[in-house]
């Protein structure tokens, strides 16, 4: 199973567009469904959804997104929902 990113620098989601379906996008956030499926770069397991945010503050409600993994990049966070 292919893993997102190469562990070195920010993940370019455009490289994975063939297997990621964009569900929602705002200026600072995006929400994707993993249709390939790709493996999570944090734990190596397949994930269902991916949420990215360039916002400084992010709030998630329980049930929304558990369990999940977070990858932090200099300018954004990526949340992988399993
Ligand atoms: Zn994970």
- Residue 69 CA, ligand 1 centroid: distance in Å: 4
The pLDDT of residue 8 is above 70? yes
pLDDT in tens, 39-76: 999 999 999 999 999 998 888 877 665 688 999 999 99
SS3 assignment, position 40: coil
- Determine what percent of the chain is predicted with pLDDT higher than 70: 94
State if pTM tops 0.85. Answer: yes
Contact 40, 1 (CB under 8 A): no
Length in residues, the chain: 82
Number of helices followed by number of strands (H, E) in the chain: 0, 5
Measured in Å, residue 1 CA sits from the centre of ligand 1 at 13
Looking at residue 71, its pLDDT comes to 94
Q: Report how far ligand 1's centroid is from the alpha carbon of 40 (Å).
A: 5
Domain ranges within the chain, ordered by starting residue: 13-81
45 CA to middle of ligand 1, Å?
6
Could you give the CA distance from residue 1 to residue 9 in angstroms, rounded to a whole number? 20
């Amino acid at each position: 199973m292919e893993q997102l990113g190469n562990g070195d620098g920010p993940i370019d989601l455009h490289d994975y567009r063939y297997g990621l379906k964009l569900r929602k996008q705002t200026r600072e956030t995006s929400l994707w469904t993993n249709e390939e499926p790709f493996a999570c770069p944090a734990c190596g397991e397949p994930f269902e959804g991916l949420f990215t945010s360039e916002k400084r503050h992010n709030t998630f409600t329980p049930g929304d997104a558990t369990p999940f993994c977070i990858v932090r990049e200099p300018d954004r966070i990526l949340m992988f929902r399993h």
